[in-house]
Chains A and B, each alone.
Chain A
Amino acid sequence: MEKEKILENLAFAIVEGDEDKAVENAKAAMEAKLDPLETVENGLSKGMDDIGEKFGKGEVFLPELLMAANAFKSAMEILKPELEAQKMQTAQKGTILIGTVKGDVHNIGKDIVSTVLETKGFNVVDIGVDNDTLSIIQEAEKAQADVIALSCLMTTTMPAQKEFIEVLEEMNLREKYFVIVGGGPVTQEWADEIKADGYGESAVEAPVLVKELIRKK
């Protein structure tokens, strides 16, 4: 099969969220000795961009976006060994550590934010709910995160976001990470007050916000 066709099929399989087809086409790409980096960029990522655009326009729904992300991940597994063998690196978009703060177990919004970030190609490390400040910092160090995203759904747990930034400062780590905040009662004013680097009202704002921050780095 010719190169263009394979890449087109791959992108299409991603848009369709068809994991089997995505894997099949990723294998076909490798068999046809296509450049792995180009396969990622013009096949897989192109598919994600297409479906992302459709989602933005309301043409596809959230579950379809998640299926696409799944297909992306599985196809990526096929390409990884080849990428590594050729010592190639896909353009790193950045690592985001995400979790809810101490005392807060509301995970639905956080989960949506983390999947939307994944669909945009970010490396997302989700540390779940009810995390105390020090363990978030530990995890961020371990993951070598660029951005720490803190979700919280209650006015009673919001102070933990503030405390987190204060502790980062005390530990002289504030410059190392971008910190963004969100969740039901969180507002831009609150983000400004606690000197967070960004705030997003909804999940779709998260990748835009993160991209902007990482570019500044």
Chain B
Amino acid sequence: MTSKQVESVHEASLEILENVGVLVRNQEARQLYVQHGCEEEIESSVIKFPRAVVEQFRQSIPSSFTFHGRDPSFDRTIPEDGPIFCTGSSAPDIFDLESNEVRRSRSDDIARIAHLVNELPGYDLFAISVTADDAPDGQQSLSRFYPALKNCQKPVYGSAPSIDEVFDILKLCFLIAGREAAFWERPFICLGYCPVISPLTMDVESTEKLIRFTELGVPCYGVMAPTAGLSAPLTLTGSLALTNAEFLAQTTLEQILKPGKPIIYEALPTVVDVRNGAYSPGGIETGILLMGCAQMADFYNIPSGGFAGLTNAKSSDVQSGFETGMSSVAALLAGLDLLRIGGLLDALKIFDFSKVVIDNEIALMLKQAARGIQFSEDNLALDTIAETGPGGTFLNKSHTIERMRTTPFLPDIADRLSWSQWKTGGAITPQAQALNRVREILSVDNPAVFSAEVDQSIREEFVGLVAGDSLPIAASMKPI
């Protein structure tokens, strides 16, 4: 979009908020909006937003967002350190690593994935990729955050079904940090919520989460998930205008509660498959809509993020590769700062170990693409060109040798062997190669695991907690 068009989308969003308004089901939120200049239609619970109110509150959104890791070397601030990459979150099912059958996900899967993500350099954050079907009663969130934090020193992102569970997560974090104050200095988790149910509705409980998490001061922000053709207009422009209006409504509440609260403009936008109503995040339109979100976020001077690189594929195959690659490259080129790319198949429903490794490689390729052509006098290499001259070779020049390990991206999964080398090497597929990497990483003890004392204090506090260990792969693991 041209900058004029971006402004038109913004204007359209203000018009939607002023004239159509948002149905706010949460009473406390309605009160807060009204106290700060919005109007409530009493019978319908619809809140109308005068443009001045929206314009005022968006001014206090900071221009950057920082994620802290348990290890400070993993801290990331966007947009400065962007683009950064993250795993997909909360898949209810998983391809079992040993049997390759799909089954419900468990806490020991989370431990293994955390271990992997800690080692895979493409990922900057770990969004807890699966649910924990083995969670003891009342420990739903603990059974996800504990194995995640135990096995990964990168920033951990997750959600919690209720406020009570957040207090448990915080207690866990204080024990890990050693002191409560130490955690608040560098809070190494981030929580997500989805108050917006498109179109233009804010739910009771998720809005309650927005309010309570924001008050607590734990890093958190919301995600919008419109489906064009169903919960948003089918045209991408209309869908973007609506999503943007929903973003502004949500963030106005955040800024009312805590002016200057850092957030990310984040979305999971899709277009319905009109043939049968299927949910299709693998569509290229997800990438295109995220380009739009990145531009809107730029206009507001705030960081952007989104679920770029999702797929509808049922296994880590050709479809999963091209869907993940195509929409993520689109979003990246439009300047999206945070890409939630990794590991999920079947429209966020199944996690796959080989995919998370393949997506690590895609993330590294995208980081390379984002660096682009790094112009400098030195990189022009005029001396080396003169030295080599017509018909020479650059292969043996010190210019090449000095840069050969850092300048080109050297893939680990993509195969570049000759036909016969590939054939005699067992004609290894990318998926099999990725699983080899999984096997390698998981067979080595995880250096990220916290000390025995910390672990003991956690297990004393939360009786009956899941083990949370990343187990080595059974020798019986089925080769692909």
> Could you tell me which A residues sit within 8 Å of B by CB distance?
58, 61-63, 103, 105, 107-108, 111-112, 130, 154-156, 184-185, 202-204
Question: How far does the Cβ of B443 sit from chain A's closest Cβ, in whole Å?
Answer: 30
Give the residue of B104, B206, B277, B279 whose beta carbon is less than 8 angstroms from that of A105.
B206
Contacts known (A105-B197, A107-B197); A184 close to B277, Cβ less than 8 A:
no
B238 at the interface (CB under 8 A from A): no
Contacts known (A63-B274, A103-B161); A154 close to B92, Cβ less than 8 A:
yes
Contacts known (A105-B206, A107-B197, A108-B231); A203 close to B92, Cβ less than 8 A:
no
B227 touches A108 (CB 8 A): yes
B276 touches A185 (CB 8 A): no
Closest to A157 in B: B161
Scoring B residues 134 to 153 as 1 if CB is less than 8 Å from chain A, else 0, what string do you get?
00000010000000000000
Closest to B130 in A: A155
Please, how many angstroms separate the alpha-carbon atoms of A61 and B230 in the complex? 13
B203 touches A105 (CB 8 A): yes
B349 at the interface (CB under 8 A from A): yes
Contacts known (A154-B92, A185-B349); A203 close to B277, Cβ less than 8 A:
yes
B92 touches A185 (CB 8 A): yes
Give the residue of B203, B274, B349 whose beta carbon is less than 8 angstroms from that of A184.
B349
A62 touches B206 (CB 8 A): no
Give the residue of B140, B204, B227 whose beta carbon is less than 8 angstroms from that of A156.
B140
Question: How far does the Cβ of B231 sit from chain A's closest Cβ, in whole Å?
Answer: 7
Please, how many angstroms separate the alpha-carbon atoms of A107 and B131 in the complex? 21
Which chain A residues border B203 with CB–CB below 8 Å?
105
B275 touches A61 (CB 8 A): yes
Besides A108-B227, A130-B205, A204-B276, 12 more A-B contacts (Cβ < 8 Å) are: A58-B276, A61-B276, A62-B272, A62-B274, A62-B275, A63-B229, A103-B161, A103-B205, A105-B203, A108-B230, A154-B92, A156-B161
- Which residues of chain B from 212 to 239 have any CB-CB distance to chain A below 8 Å in the complex? 227, 229-231
B279 touches A62 (CB 8 A): no
Please, how many angstroms separate the alpha-carbon atoms of A184 and B92 in the complex? 9
Which chain B residues border A111 with CB–CB below 8 Å?
230
B180 at the interface (CB under 8 A from A): no
Closest to A202 in B: B276
Which chain B residues border A108 with CB–CB below 8 Å?
227, 230-231, 279
Which chain B residues border A155 with CB–CB below 8 Å?
92, 104, 131, 133
B277 touches A62 (CB 8 A): yes
Question: How far does the Cβ of A98 sit from chain B's closest Cβ, in whole Å?
Answer: 15
Closest to B161 in A: A156
Closest to B227 in A: A108
Please, how many angstroms separate the alpha-carbon atoms of A156 and B229 in the complex? 28
Which chain A residues border B279 with CB–CB below 8 Å?
108
Question: How far does the Cβ of B450 sit from chain A's closest Cβ, in whole Å?
Answer: 27
Which chain B residues border A103 with CB–CB below 8 Å?
161, 205
Which chain B residues border A58 with CB–CB below 8 Å?
275-276
Please, how many angstroms separate the alpha-carbon atoms of A203 and B278 in the complex? 10
Question: How far does the Cβ of B230 sit from chain A's closest Cβ, in whole Å?
Answer: 6
Which chain B residues border A130 with CB–CB below 8 Å?
204-205
Closest to B93 in A: A185
Contacts known (A108-B230, A108-B279, A112-B277); A156 close to B131, Cβ less than 8 A:
yes
Which chain A residues border B161 with CB–CB below 8 Å?
103, 156
Best-buried of B93, B133, B203, B275 by chain A (most CB within 10 Å) = B275
Question: How far does the Cβ of B232 sit from chain A's closest Cβ, in whole Å?
Answer: 11
Which chain A residues border B206 with CB–CB below 8 Å?
105
Please, how many angstroms separate the alpha-carbon atoms of A154 and B133 in the complex? 11
Closest to A115 in B: B277
6 inter-chain pairs at a CB distance below 8 angstroms, sorted by A residue, are A61-B274, A61-B276, A103-B205, A105-B197, A108-B279, A185-B92
Query: Which 10 A-B pairs rank lowest in CB-CB distance, beginning with the nearest?
Result: A185-B92, A61-B274, A112-B277, A155-B92, A62-B277, A155-B131, A61-B275, A105-B203, A156-B161, A105-B197
Please, how many angstroms separate the alpha-carbon atoms of A112 and B231 in the complex? 12
- Which residues of chain B from 329 to 378 have any CB-CB distance to chain A below 8 Å in the complex? 349
Please, how many angstroms separate the alpha-carbon atoms of A58 and B203 in the complex? 35
Which chain B residues border A154 with CB–CB below 8 Å?
92
Question: How far does the Cβ of B234 sit from chain A's closest Cβ, in whole Å?
Answer: 9
